[in-house]
Amino acid sequence: MLKIYLNKMIQLFRENIRTISQIVSLFKSRIDSNSKKSDTYNEDEKSENDGILLIFSKEADDLANLYQEKFNEFSDVLETKINLLKKEIILHKRINKQLRSENAKLKKI
């Protein structure tokens, strides 16, 4: 059940990364087309826009990697918690078994 849930989360995450990168590509193409269309800007404004575009494109490229890293960290934490809970279940089963045997011994007395 948990594996199905994690697989669906991974799928949803990957679909969202594609959507985000598509939106970023759309913005980049619109900024490029707008900067090419309007030659009325002076050189200072053009260089400022190019700098902003460069920063924006670098951040957009790093966004997918950042989300993937965060998701991997999150899935590692979940796997650790799952393993811990499995160990706790085993421990509680042992305690339950010991208490049942003690209870049976006390009933015989």
pLDDT in tens, the chain (109 residues): 667 767 777 777 677 776 767 777 777 777 766 666 555 555 656 666 777 777 777 777 777 778 888 888 998 999 999 999 999 999 999 999 999 999 999 988 7
Q: What are the residues whose beta carbons fall under 8 Å from the beta carbon of 95, sequence distance 6 or more?
A: none
CB 16 within 8 A of CB 64: no
For the whole prediction, is pTM greater than 0.75? Answer: no
Spatial CA neighbour of 55 closest among 44, 47, 65: 47
3-state secondary structure of 85: helix
3-state SS class at 90: helix
21, 33, 77, 86 from 37: Cα distances, Å: 24, 6, 49, 62
> Tokens standing for 93?
């089963």
